[in-house]
Amino acid sequence: MTVAAIIPALNEEGAIGQVVAGIPRDLVDTIVVVDNGSSDRTAERARAAGAIVVAQPERGYGAALIAGVAAVPLVDVYVFMDGDASDVMDHLAAMLRMVHCGQAQLVLGVRAGAVEPGSLLWHQQLGNRLVTWMISCISRRTLRDLPSLKVIDGNTYRSLEMRERTHGWTAELISKAAVRGIAIAEVETGYRRRIGESKVSGSLRGSLLAGYRIIAAVIRVWRTEGAAR
């Protein structure tokens, strides 16, 4: 089984070295950091820590992840995670095992349990409730979170034909998987305060824009998947 971690990074020089170094190399074969037009030393630090760096000048969380996958298109399993040191890797082995043994095709690292105070802001929690409720309405699946840390079987990922290039990417991934009846498992992983400045949830404008794109992504999945059935 080949496993690749894909990490989108926009100006994460303070965190990215530690993020790459913190990924257990006995579990992950290839680490791809997608430099999303950073003006700092993100690429240099990622490379020094042992990652392959892919440049994606087009801004956007989804655009970065799609470029990262394109660099390693045929692996067996993908691990998606952020470059800000907020994701906790302690349960990665268990998450990978669930995919390896076929228990689930998509495993979500739910931000519950050991969640550091201040790491998940109130509007993120509210937004999560709203969007997981929307997903339950369109798929009849009850999910708890739309987290940054996700493990997915490679063939399943490729079958989803991801197209969102913005922050709606995770919402597209999870809602499509839910609507299509793909086996989704949830593992409580906890969450930490990020290193460096948030590009999204830290500002009102960023949060509203991300919220809009996340909701639009779920609605798009509902319309296109509904029409396909």
Angle at 179 between CA 90 and CA 219, to 5 degrees: 100
Written as one letter, the residue type at 188 is E
Residue 100 Cβ, how far from Mg ion at the closest point, in Å?
Answer: 27
Choice from 131, 194, 221, 222 touching ligand GDP (CB under 6 A)? 194
In terms of CB distance, is 12 or 153 closer to Mg ion?
12
How far is 217 from 211, CA to CA, in rounded Å? 10
Residue 201 Cβ, how far from ligand GDP at the closest point, in Å?
Answer: 3
Return the residue matching tokens 């949060």: 207
Written as one letter, the residue type at 153 is D
- List the interface residues with ligand GDP, window 79-98 (CB under 6 A): 82-84
Choice from 5, 20, 23, 60 touching ligand GDP (CB under 6 A)? 60
- 177-186 burial, b for 16+ CB within 10 Å, e for fewer? bbbbebebbb
Residue 29 Cβ, how far from ligand GDP at the closest point, in Å?
Answer: 21
Beta-bridge mates of residue 52: 32
> How many CB atoms lie under 10 A from the CB of residue 203?
13
Could you tell me which stretch among 57-65, 67-75, 127-135, 168-176 binds ligand GDP (CB under 6 A)? 57-65
Enumerate binding residues for ligand GDP (CB under 6 A).
8-10, 12, 36, 59-61, 64, 82-84, 194, 198-202
